[in-house]
Structure 1
Amino acid sequence: MSGATGRVLLVDDDDSIRTVVAQALRRAGHDVRTAASLAELEREMRSHPPQVLLTDVVLPDGDGIENAARVLADHPGLPVIVLSARNTLTTAVRANEAGAYDYLPKPFDLDTLTRTVAAALARRAGSEAADEASEDASLPLIGRSPAMQEVYRVIARVVSNDLTVLVSGESGTGKELVARAIHDLGARRAAPFVPINMAAIPRELIEAELFGHERGAFTGAAQRNAGRFEQAAGGTLFLDEIGDMPVEAQTRLLRVLQSGEFTTVGGARTIRADVRIVAATNRDLHQAVATGQFREDLYYRLNVVPIALPALRERRGDVAELARHFLDRAAEAGLPRKTLDAAAIDVLERHDWPGNVRELENVMRRLAALSRDDHVGAAEVYATIGGGAGTPAPAAAPDPGLEAAVRALIDRLARQEPRSLEDGSLYERVIGEVERPLIEAMLARHGGNQLRAARAIGLNRNTLRKRLDVLGIDATARSPVAAED
């Protein structure tokens, strides 16, 4: 690995992580020292001051992020990289606010880590410490998948500035939630958050909605109305479905973004546009630019910081956490409290979710309202979502008599041959117990006809004959005439 090298201090209470990370960084040419606690970190800071600090969050004697803020107060400019298995938006934001150079969620790629350390050494970037963010429960974004971790990291980096953000993603992925998180966690949070959906406004009214209008500016304008830019003064203006904005309105929006000023429809007084812009789209704006439906210069004005939200089918590992969250919200809204069993979660994770997170929320509310049982199973979830691509029907519950027989067999083996439960032979023993009665039953059902019995079981006839020999089953005794076709 090429790049800047230097002294690195790694703080993590997990022995294996310390070993693996230290080895990777040493291979990259760094001088690495390790610590397992904040107390050891302090000793290392005094005796061998590092040029980069890597710290876990949860340590035996304290919080790594809180300690990072204290370290940075004493060592301004020291790059601190936070490593955490608590992969939530709160962690990313706390790390950013504490002045961390970067945040890497566990498990992380070692190449990414070594590149980050090299970049930190080269830049020696630092920032001021800040207060902790709110608890996870107060934040709208949920998910610990790698795709969502990247979203959290970008949000954490933009909340402290006013850069324009363009959020892209399919309908129902939570684009407005991202916009609200940027507003609620930023310096403008005390001012209004004002959303406007471009697809829901008639073309002829979009400019009046955005910039306001004076009395008499057009037929029906009986009084002056403030537009969304004025309503959002000091705060955030969220331009949802920006790809559906008419070209003529795009031109005026571009002028406002360039100059920072606007006038109302029918007005002459210049008004300063003191807002942060967050735009969102479910369309491919590159394609819209190519076909002349969206201004290229406006696209680049909006796409200063892009955030791409993954579809729910691309982060199936987040489905269970989201589903439980929505059931909790439904209970808080007065609906009956429900829980999901493991098979139900499996059905949810296999579904393709064309409506994304919004569809999942609606399904959970429907289950909370209509399910007769407090514990929701796979069959009911499958019926509620209607199956769909990628969602196989749940397997039928095992026959209670068969299940009881298997349990009885295992209990008998545990008493008579306890070693069979530990020597790796249990699978063959149980299958062997089931195989004989299965073959005998199917032979009897088909009058001793081996070909038909083999087809019914799912074996070819030669395989069935071999199993008959191994098990000592006399098929001809059942029907000598019908033994062959």
Structure 2
Amino acid sequence: MIERILLVEDDESIAVVIKTALEAEGLTVDHCETIECRDRMLADHDYGALLTDVMLKDGDGIESLGQVRADHPDLPLIILSAQNTLDTAVRATDTGAFEYFPKPFDLDELVRAVRQAIEARTPSEKEKETDAGGLPLVGRSQAMQGVYRMITRVLHNDLTVLVLGESGTGKELVAEAIHQLGSRSKGPFIAVNTAAIPSELIESELFGHEKGAFTGAVARSIGKFEQANGGTLFLDEIGDMPLEAQTRLLRALQSGRIRRVGGQDEIAIDVRIIAATHRDLRPLIAEGRFREDLYYRLNVVPIQMPALRERSDDIGALARHFLALAADEGLPRHVLAGDAVSLLERQPWRGNVRELRNFIYRMALLAREDVIDRTVVATFLDEQPDMPQVDCDVDFSAALDAWLAESVPADGTLYHSALAAFEKPLFEHALAETGGNQLKAAQLLGINRNTLRKRLGELAIDPERFTQRA
């Protein structure tokens, strides 16, 4: 095990910190500030690992690694960068880097990675050309750096990924990035929203059906699994999938084979699965609404997408990105002023990136000024409908206290009893507001229609009595 490290870093203060930390671990550290010095040191010494910054005094630290890779194929690379974009993370990974650290980084994590790299001395992966244009994710915030690092770790394998996050955070964009930049990029990318498909049709949508399998099946239909063969299948809103379909999905994931509805033959499929949900699946498991074994099958590599409020530093870049996209789509071209960005950053954006995008597109269409400044943004913000502000914590706490004072659930049933007590009037309100229309009630509640129908039965709510009121 070679415990001599080459550090290439042109920021003297950062170099001193890293060198001191590594030497405290008993490692020998040689320091360079240029590519020319790096190449000379590599020719004269054998190193256990190479740590390098990206932007150096005499060039791009990543672009110049091609010859290093050719001359030292087993040398672990650890790349440091202040250029904290998905493009940089992908370029770092495509060099076969053992690890990538955006600045500022956790020093203990860096030291740990150096130790692991020395011990591993694994061969690098083959360099892969990547089109930096058209990358689906935008943002350099610290919150997004963790997302980028997780993406780069799954590009060159077929591990199942579960993307978590609130609605509108860009979970499908993560799936697109993994597919577009990964080893399956030449195959199809098929996305399906499992919450938007009626329960009686979801198995046919996923697995296909044979002619005559059911009424209306006038011809054979190829399902999403077969359509995605050789590529990636993205299952959005997996938490709303009916239990029966969950069982067949689990069987397909375990066996790598499917059977069309009404068919006899099993069909081998070669797809990478990426699933996403805005729900916490663990309570659904406890309630018997999501299979625990399917959860563990899907939750191999979880990636948590941050809410926009957790990455407000990215709002300016996102807004300019959306203005450029709007112009490419034929809307008037505008420039976003700096004072406008500061106002956008202070908005709550409860709908996350999706809400910001829609707002920017609306301004791109309707704003008369070429430069969108703070005044223009304020005008459009004033035109948005006000969202009612309710102190939910106080209201619900008072209601819960009142319910507990009158109800004494048996041990072990408090959670489900309280949930049913609050859920029933909520569903009844939604049905009353929509005249008993279950589809509209589900949309009002923000849940799947099949989920609503199932819960109405479990809570003994008759939707017909609300139809009579309408």
TM-score (norm 2): 0.79
User: What is the aligned counterpart of 2:310 among 314, 335, 341?
Assistant: 314
What is the RMSD computed on CA atoms of the aligned residues?
Answer: 1.8
Post-superposition Cα deviations, 1:214-256, rounded to whole Å, max 9, x if no partner, equal 1111111111111101111111111010000000100010001
Residue by residue over 1:423-467, the C-alpha shift from the partner in whole angstroms, topping out at 9 and shown as x without a partner, is xxxxxxxxxxxxxxxxxxxxxxxxxxxxxxxxxxxxxxxxxxxxx
Q: Distance in 2 between matches of 1:320 and 1:99?
A: 32
Of the structure 1 ranges 360-369 and 45-54, higher mean CA displacement relative to structure 2 is found in: 45-54
- Residue 282 in 1 paired to residue 278 in 2? yes
2:118 counterpart residue number: 121
Map of 1:287-302 to 2, 5 A cutoff? 287-302=283-298
2:27 corresponds, among 26, 30, 33, to 30
* Counterpart check, 1:266 vs 2:262: yes
1:84: Cα distance to partner?
0.9
2:192 corresponds in structure 1 to 196
> What secondary structure does 2:62 align onto?
helix
Structure 1 residue 382 corresponds to structure 2 residue 375: no
Cross-structure match for 1:59:
56
Query: Which stretch has the larger CA shift, 82-91 or 238-247?
Result: 82-91
Given candidates 166, 170, 187, the residue that maps to 2:166 is 170
Map of 1:107-146 to 2, 5 A cutoff?
107-135=104-132, 137-146=133-142
TM-score by length of 1: 0.77
Task: Tell me the alpha carbon deviations over residues 296-330 of structure 1, each in whole angstroms, 9 at most, x when there is no partner.
Answer: 00011111111110001001111111111111111
DSSP 3-state at the match of 1:66 = coil
The one of 205, 209, 215 aligned to 1:213: 209
Of 84, 87, 90, the match for 1:87: 84
Q: How far has the Cα of 1:19 moved from its partner?
A: 2.3
Equivalent position to 1:6, from 3, 27, 46: 3
Q: Deviations over 1:18-51 (max 9, x none)?
A: 2232223223332111111111011211233221
SS in 2 for 1:129: coil
- 1:339 counterpart = 2:343: no
Quick one: distance in 2 between partners of 1:264 and 1:292?
A: 27
Corresponding letter in the other structure for 2:21 = A
- The answer to whether the 8 Å contact 1:5/1:30 transfers is no
Q: Which amino acid aligns with 2:29?
A: V
Q: Deviations over 1:80-120 (max 9, x none)?
A: 10011111111111111111100001122222222221222
Q: 1:337-380: CA deviations, max 9, x gaps?
A: 11222221111111121111111111111111111211122233
SS across alignment from 1:65: coil
Check the 8 A contact 2:76/2:124 in 1, yes or no: no
Cα drift, residue 384 of structure 1: 2.2
Quick one: percent identity of the two aligned structures?
58
CA distance in 2, matches of 1:56, 1:66: 11
Structure 1 range deviating more: 44-53 or 203-212:
44-53
Q: Is the 8 A contact 1:213 1:266 kept in 2?
A: yes
Instruction: Map Cα deviations across residues 368-417 of structure 1 (whole Å, 9 max, x no partner).
Output: 1111211122233233234879xxxxxxxxxxxxxxxxxxxxxxxxxxxx
Q: Distance in 2 between matches of 1:87 and 1:52?
A: 22
Following the alignment from structure 1 to structure 2, what is the Cα–Cα distance between the partners of residues 250 and 162? 21
Deviation beyond 6 Å, 4+ runs, structure 1? none
State how far apart, in whole Å, the 2-side matches of 1:282 and 1:149 are.
20
Q: Which residue of 2 aligns with 1:222?
A: 218
- Counterpart CA distance in 2 for 1:38 and 1:209 is 54
Q: Which has the larger radius of gyration?
A: 1
Partner amino acid for 2:48? Q
- Alignment size in residue pairs: 386
C-alpha distance in structure 2 between counterparts of 1:337 and 1:57, whole Å? 34
Question: Aligned equivalents of 1:28 and 1:316: distance in 2?
Answer: 37
1:151 aligned partner: 147
Partner of 2:42: 45
Alpha-carbon distance between aligned partners in 1 of 2:188 and 2:254, rounded to the nearest angstrom: 22
Secondary structure at 2:117's aligned position in 1? helix
SS in 1 for 2:363: helix
Tell me, in whole angstroms, the C-alpha distance in 2 between the residues paired with 1:154 and 1:289. 26
> Does residue 357 in structure 1 map to residue 353 in structure 2?
yes
Tell me the equivalent position of 2:410.
none
Give the distance between the partners of 2:67 and 2:142, measured in 1 at CA. Answer: 29
